[in-house]
């Protein structure tokens, strides 16, 4: 193999490094079908194709764009602008109530 050529398949650990996650998450993604993986060889070690990682990332971008477009609040803690404004106003009112006599 040419040293400049990247291998077609990655181990669970290599896939985790590529995605910047733990190997246990890669295993979970394979188990749920969100990330395609195959067992190769006599020992049945799991491998993930480079293209499957690219497809997973592309799909994640698509899902994120759909969630942003729908105004849904994501797990990353960044709410949509209107929700953040309402929350801020509610906090301001609650804060002023504390000091009311």
* Per-domain residue ranges of the chain: 9-95
Fold that domain 9-95 belongs to in CATH: Multidrug-efflux Transporter Regulator; Chain: A; Domain 2 (1.10.1660)
pLDDT value of residue 77 = 58
Q: Helices in the chain by DSSP H: which ranges?
A: 12-19, 23-32, 50-70, 81-98
Long-range contacts of 79-82 (CB under 8 A, 24+ apart): none
Whole-structure pTM value: 0.65
21-35 per-position pLDDT tens digit: 999 999 999 999 999
Over residues 69-95, the pLDDT tens digits come to: 888 765 555 555 666 566 666 665 555
32: burial class by Cβ within 10 Å (0-12, 13-18, 19+)?
exposed
């Amino acid at each position: 193999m040419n040293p400049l050529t990247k291998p077609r398949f990655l181990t669970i650990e290599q896939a985790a490094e590529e995605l910047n996650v733990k190997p246990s998450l890669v295993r979970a993604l394979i188990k749920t079908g969100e990330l395609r993986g195959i067992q190769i060889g006599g020992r049945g070690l799991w491998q993930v194709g480079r293209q499957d990682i690219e497809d997973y990332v592309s799909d994640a971008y698509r899902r994120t764009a759909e969630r942003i477009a729908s105004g849904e609040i994501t797990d990353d803690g960044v709410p949509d602008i209107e929700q953040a404004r309402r929350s801020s106003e509610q906090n301001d009112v609650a804060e002023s109530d504390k000091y009311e006599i």
